[in-house]
Amino acid sequence: MSSVANDVINSRLRESRRVVLKFLNNARPFKLMTLKAVKRECHVFPQGFKLRIIGEVQSMDPTVDKWLLKQPWPAFRLKHDGVYHKKLNENTTMVLFNDYANMPLRWKIGYEIQLPIRPWSSNPTATTLELENLVLKLWHQCMDEQRTYEWHRRQL
């Protein structure tokens, strides 16, 4: 394995970033919600990795769960295990859920990118944490290249 794997990861991350921005531009969730914070995490597995970006949002409309099913955008599927899902491409899935039982205006919106490619490091003894940080570094480069100018500075 070589750094070719990282080039493939980088191109797939860019593709996922493009489809997420297209979805957010068409669905316009931030007309109904205010982005408060964003958390990014990566989990590397023997067969690939999963990158999860979740933003905490405050809804201004208590009927946000009805808006989620609106066609053609955002057109989320009915919730499964308390989470609304929308598949954007083969690697990227948008998620929206409410963790807070008694707070219908607090939601979490984000996406998961799952790739069946393990990141490559020049260090043969790289730990899982180092590989996760490598993926997050590649992701930050993609985010910097494709910025969101309409929303709050905390990028989703």
Among 63, 65, 59, CA closest to 79 = 65
Q: Is the pLDDT of residue 11 over 70?
A: yes
At 44-98, the pLDDT tens digits run: 999 999 999 999 988 888 778 788 888 788 888 777 788 889 999 999 999 988 8
In a domain, 65, yes or no: yes
Q: Is the pLDDT of residue 146 over 60?
A: yes
At 109-140, the pLDDT tens digits run: 999 999 999 998 888 888 999 999 999 999 99
In a domain, 28, yes or no: yes
CA distances 126 to 108, 110, 114, 120, Å, are 32, 29, 21, 9
Q: Which two tokens stand for residue 5?
A: 């794997």
In a domain, 91, yes or no: yes
pLDDT, mean of residues 90-108: 84
β-bridge pairing 106-115 and 48-59: antiparallel
What total number of domains does the chain contain?
1
CATH number, domain with residue 98: 3.30.2030
In a domain, 108, yes or no: yes
Per the structure, the complete domain to which residue 97 belongs is given by: 4-145
Say which residues have a Cβ less than 8 Å from residue 29's Cβ, sequence separation at least 6: 57, 74, 109
